[in-house]
A and B are shown apart, each in its own frame.
Chain A
Amino acid sequence: MKTKSLYRVLLTLLLAFWVSSAWAANTIKWSMQGDSLTLDPHAQNEGPTTMVSRQIYEALVTRGLDMSIGPQLATDWKATNPTTWVFNLRKDVTFHNGDKMTSEDVVFSLLRAQQPSSDFKEYISTITSVKALDEYTVEIQTKDPNPILLNQLSNIFVMSKKWATENFVIVPQNWDAGQETFSANNAMGTGPFKITLREPNTKTVFKKNKKWWGEVQHNLDEIHLLPIANASTRVAALLSGELDIVTDAPVQDLDRIRSSGDHKVLSIEQMRTIFLGMDQAADKLRSGNTGDNPFKKKEVRQAFYQAIDIEAIKEKVMRGLSSPAGIITFPGVTGYTKELDERLPYDVAAAKKLLADAGYPDGFDIELRCPNDRYVNDEAICTAVVGMLGKIGVNVSLNAQTKSKHFKELKDNQGDFYMLGWGVPTLDSHYVFHYLYETEASWNKVNFSNAEVDAAVRVMEGEVDLEKRNAAIAKAWKIVKDDIAYLPLHHQVISWASKRSVDVPIRPNNEPLFRFSNKRY
């Protein structure tokens, strides 16, 4: 009898404790239109996926709030010769399960990110060897002197070797092939937050890592990521107080959010350019009706370019929150110039003439592939493009679908004509060329190929003389711009809307850093 009542008292106390601790938990409820595609830190190089990984995983070096590179898992580094770098690691870092982080894990993670199934292999393709000199020192060798190695390393996350071995995820998840692995829904990093619940596309719960090595500058206990695809539902949830922050507030609702009194809107020009790709290598378009590939002719690509009224898209679809682009890179990136960013004029008559000159006076049929939950108003932009191309006689059918399908089918080479956006996390033009323009590059789905551009990419990788390097970048940009390899649309402006009591610093790469975020009661 006595033991029974003791149990009761204990249970009551436990319940009371649990309730009070749940009450006191400071939780940020965060939403955006799509979810992270996978928790595997090396499987998908995609914005929201990295956004989530960034909270739970860390890299050797990282960009701070001001976007400058600073130490993270490495305390300091030096180049012992032009192609050899030595990194000294922090000695007080543990993974979320309590294991110590050592140079073994760093070497493992870098090698893992170089595997064929990794989507980050292009970042560190210049690294020839990685080895542990001792428990807390790592030596990295590059093929040629690499001026942007630190920029690249800031996106290679370090995971636990032991955990990866135990859970059979030594190689990254092959996302493109639709593989499911343990690492896709579980994570073992060293970051300030850890995953405690993962329901893809529904809810992801991050809990504060109490044993984190760094100085804690946030007052959060939990982050709940609740993706909501429908724009107005997302805004309604924010306005009703159900959400604390939305990192892709719909442009049409910003005035309404501002006027609520309890909410604020932060806007910043994002490091991301939206563009259209046109497959110019295939002999026959998959969705065309001409039996050949009109995109092989530059006139056709230029006709498409000049048929698009980007100012109308800016004013009506983006409500002024975009800046028309001439190249797929933006101010702040090495190699960007204002002259390059100039667009060809909008001219329907010229576009019609170009199309007729190319041998398609009556236009042709084509399918435009578009994501509908990735970029700001992506589907609306595509619908507008369909209308504009209709004016020059091109009959476009729109295939707008969720981003996971869109990206998967693009990677599978199913797109003739598609929308994509490209950010530049390294802030260097090399990244754009290496992924989008180099022959057979992993996201070069227009199958552009130019020997001079390829040669320029090699110079960008190995030239330390900045003048020569910049000349190579300028030359490469000129070639791809003149050839209209892609059809650039605009640089995206992003807006974050949150409660006034929530303070998450906005960053031009659209990545929230919750370790610098606070929420007042």
Chain B
Amino acid sequence: MDSQRLTLLSRIKDSDIYFSFIKSPTAIVSSVILVIIFFCSFFVEFVAPFNPFDPSSLSLMEAFTPPSWSEKGMAKYILGTDGQGRDMLSTILYGSRISLIVGFSAILFSLLLGVTLGLTAGYFGGKYEMIVMRLTDVQLTVPSILMALLVDGIARGIISRELHDEMAIYVLIFAIGISEWPQFARVSRAATLVEKNKDYVSASTIIGVSNILIMFKHILPNIMRPVLVIGTIGLALAIIAESTLSFLGVGVPPTTPSLGTLIRIGNDFLFSGEWWITFFPAIFLVLLAFSINLLGDWMRDTLNPKLN
């Protein structure tokens, strides 16, 4: 058992991925930042100094407190408070959790949809492939934000207002996911086309392995590299898309604000000098998206040099 673990560790240590990771300072820095952000967001109840969504803990008289290092700042509110007296640091941490949940779920949704369609299209070919690929072409002509707005608008039409607030997060996941899937479909189809002519696929076909098994057991693991690269970069895009939609007021409701909602609320105070209400959520979002992108870039260089 112990030797097994050792071999696993040494296997990781000997791998070229580990080597390139160690040699890349950007990858190390960005992954450290991401680990911290993920940890704080998912254990926010223990990390955040306040629960900003408990109305009875708020004090309106402490609204608009600037960050603690400025003249009128208070030590307990490190990044200051917003217009209702909520601690900025806590709201940002709670908000980033919503942003991350939406981003991850959306990208997972589009990954499942895109890879399934792309893989089957590449494998079976023919009319089916043509239909799927034309569908991605059509989808790609519609900007993803517009697509997401459209989905949200339709959802608002068919879901009653009372249910809408509860459903908002699922609608958002679906809206972003549906606008990102063509990327996955194209990449996985291209990779499948290369793989399906290889000997191991022919061999499996000859010994009578079923199509489904060939696709998902043999081809899928071999096309995962480029898909993961796109997925990582897509995660940053999905988080930004979520923030954009929330900023436009069609995303998650203000009662459970995401980073975009926070930036939108803070936007009202930009002229009046209360810069911290919008600045910190914005800089947090930039940091998050930037780190994911850097990590994605590194993954692309390492896992799939051809894409470079």
Contact = CB atoms under 8 A, between A and B. Distances in A.
Interface of A: 230-232, 235-236, 239, 250, 252-253, 255-257, 309, 312-313, 315-317, 380, 383-384, 386-391, 393, 396-398
14 contacts: A232-B270, A252-B268, A252-B274, A256-B273, A312-B61, A313-B60, A317-B60, A317-B63, A380-B83, A386-B55, A387-B55, A387-B58, A390-B56, A396-B55
B61 A315 contact: yes
Nearest to A231: B268
B202 to A, nearest CB: 61
Contacts of A386: 55
A316 B83 contact: yes
A380 B254 CA distance: 12
Contacts of B268: 230-232, 250, 252
Nearest to A383: B84
Could you tell me the dominant secondary structure of chain A's interface residues? helix
A464 to B, nearest CB: 48
Contacts of B46: none
Nearest to A389: B55
A253 B271 contact: yes
B83 A387 contact: no
A279 to B, nearest CB: 19
Given A312-B60, A316-B63, A387 B84 contact: yes
Interface string B224-268: 000000000000000000000000000000010000000000011
Nearest to A309: B60
A256 B271 contact: yes
Contacts of B273: 255-256
B254 to A, nearest CB: 8
**Best-buried of A257, A380, A383, A396 by chain B (most CB within 10 Å):** A383
Contacts of B271: 232, 235-236, 239, 252-253, 256-257
A182 to B, nearest CB: 27
A387 B267 contact: no
A383 B272 CA distance: 20
A390 B55 contact: yes
Contacts of B272: 252-253, 255-256
Nearest to B58: A387
A317 B83 contact: yes
Given A252-B272, A256-B271, A316-B83, A390 B61 contact: no
Interface in B12-65: 54-56, 58, 60-61, 63-64
Contacts of A316: 60-61, 63-64, 83, 85
Nearest to B266: A232
Given A230-B267, A309-B60, A380-B84, 18 more contacts: A230-B268, A232-B267, A232-B268, A235-B271, A239-B271, A252-B268, A255-B273, A256-B272, A313-B60, A316-B60, A317-B63, A387-B56, A387-B58, A387-B60, A390-B54, A390-B56, A393-B56, A398-B255
Contacts of A387: 55-56, 58, 60, 84-85
Contacts of B63: 316-317
A313 B60 CA distance: 7
**Best-buried of B255, B267, B269, B271 by chain A (most CB within 10 Å):** B271
